[in-house]
Amino acid sequence: MTTQPDGATGPADAAAPASSSSDRLSTDHHIGPVLFSAEQLAQRIALLGAQITEDYEGRAPLLVGVLRGASVFLTDLVRAIDLPVSMDFIAVSSYGSATQTSGVVRLVKDLDEDLTDRHVILVEDIVDTGLTLRYLRKNLGARGPASLEVATLLARHSADVSGQNVGYVGFEIPDDAFVIGYGLDLNQRYRNLGYIATYVEVGR
């Protein structure tokens, strides 16, 4: 079941832009409206961490972050979980340097940890077409984990999170939004923003 504040199911929706003068780099006109402020991110991740703590009581989950986009989310998420946890990272590529997926997923960095009989939570930055997620589920599921769950910071409105068995969803975003910040990038830029904003093409 996906988690949402106040006990409702499903991810939190993208609300009105949360931008303020302190929430953007005003000198970079590619940074558009802020979708989720630092405060909104912190509050939502605290709720996700509390839910994982409850769901995994008596177990020590291994959180596997998908590099590089999920690294910031994973770092904050593990600190919100009141359990003994382990971390590892895996890297795959399907975007290259463009804003469109190539349609082909390849493994770039494998795990260091053995997944046999471990309770694994795969931590994604964003679920959209499901291409990467299907690849990782198959790859990690073949390694004999006791359980395999998915937590994603973002999911597009059209993403079938229930059909893809995504148990923990932070926020939903519009299908046509290309987002940056809080670990998400464009050509390796903008990962260090403390909030999530839309990317705006300038001069087009």
Q: Known catalytic residue: 128? A: yes
The pLDDT tens digits of the residues spanning 74-117 come to: 999 999 999 999 999 999 987 554 455 557 888 999 999 999 99
- The span from the CA of 31 to the CA of 139, in Å, is 35
- The span from the CA of 106 to the CA of 154, in Å, is 22
Name the catalytic one among 128, 160, 176, 185: 128
Any idea where the domains of the chain sit in the sequence?
Answer: 39-174
Query: What's this model's pTM, rounded to 2 decimal places?
Result: 0.84
The pLDDT tens digits of the residues spanning 148-196 come to: 999 999 999 988 888 888 999 999 999 999 999 999 999 999 999 999 9
Categorize the per-residue pLDDT at 202 as very low, low, confident or very high, splitting at 50, 70 and 90.
confident
Higher pLDDT, 95 or 71: 71
The pLDDT tens digits of the residues spanning 47-62 come to: 999 999 999 999 999 9
- The span from the CA of 127 to the CA of 11, in Å, is 12
CATH 3.30.930.10 fits domain 39-174: no
Residue 173: its pLDDT value, please? 95
